[in-house]
């Protein structure tokens, strides 16, 4: 018989680092980290406008069975993000407003689930941030063993207990806790640089000039002409 674990303790990043990454957002953190950590775009925000960051508590469930989500609740600390996966693909509604109520009581800041959620109107009314593969009313059982805080794969991305999870309308990014401070500092520099570029673009400077792209276009054989020649092949 396979062994299943509920791991009570994981190493979490400093709360101030997590807060800085939440401010930076998914896109900046992903770029600053070297373009790593993104979950696939099948995981979508269900409460538009939400932006969270926290330490991952991971859950591996049997598809159609949310027993291990219930087991994970007591392991969560304030500021955590619950990351739920299934051992084979599933869109069943494994999470709803009752579990959300329990997580809120533990101080959990949001859910990322590579499966389905339901009670979506209630979840939005609670303003509980959720990123999921599907919204589906299909119910689940509580019968099969799984594990908490073991490494899991969510939408193609490896997630370990204690990893930093950043989520907003751009998607979800996961980073090792040990890289949090370095990435947060790099993201802050990136955002400051983007602010300068935004001012230039707003003043009318063109991207091709700001990034010095005209020589590249010429090297690639791109020509500027006022009109196409009459004998040019049309698409």
* pLDDT tens per residue across span 100-118: 999 999 999 999 999 999 9
pLDDT tens-digit readout, 90-101:
999 999 999 999
Q: What are phi and psi of 134, to 5 degrees?
A: -155, 160
pLDDT of 130: 98
CA distances from 121 to 84, 97, 113, 147 (A): 20, 9, 17, 29
Exposure string of 205-219, with b = 16+ CB inside 10 Å and e = fewer, is eeeeeeeeeeeeeee
With a cut of 70, say whether residue 233 has pLDDT above it.
Answer: no
In this structure, what token pair is assigned to residue 64? 């159609």
With a cut of 90, say whether residue 235 has pLDDT above it.
Answer: no
In angstroms, the CA 159 to CA 128 distance is: 21
pLDDT tens-digit readout, 183-204:
999 999 999 999 999 999 999 9
pLDDT of 229: 81
């Amino acid at each position: 018989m396979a062994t299943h674990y509920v791991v009570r303790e994981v190493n979490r990043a400093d709360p101030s680092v997590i807060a800085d990454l939440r401010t930076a957002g998914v896109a900046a953190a992903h770029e600053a980290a070297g373009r790593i950590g993104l979950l696939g775009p099948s995981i979508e925000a269900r409460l538009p406008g939400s932006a969270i960051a926290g330490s991952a508590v991971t859950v591996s469930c049997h598809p159609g069975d949310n027993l291990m989500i219930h087991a994970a609740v007591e392991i969560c600390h304030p500021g955590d993000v619950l990351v739920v996966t299934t051992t084979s693909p599933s869109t069943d509604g494994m999470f709803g407003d009752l579990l959300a109520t329990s997580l809120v009581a533990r101080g959990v800041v949001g859910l990322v689930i590579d499966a389905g959620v339901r009670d979506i109107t209630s979840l939005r009314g609670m303003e509980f941030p959720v990123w999921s593969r599907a919204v589906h009313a299909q119910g689940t059982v509580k019968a099969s063993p799984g594990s908490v805080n073991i490494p899991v794969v969510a939408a193609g991305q490896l997630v370990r207990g204690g990893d930093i999870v950043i989520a907003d309308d751009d998607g979800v990014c996961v980073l090792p806790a040990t890289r949090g401070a370095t990435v947060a500092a790099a993201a802050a520099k990136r955002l400051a640089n983007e602010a300068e570029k935004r001012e230039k673009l707003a003043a009318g400077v063109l991207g091709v000039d700001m990034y010095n792209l005209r020589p590249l276009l010429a090297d690639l054989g791109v020509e500027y002409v006022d009109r196409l020649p009459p004998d040019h092949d049309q698409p």
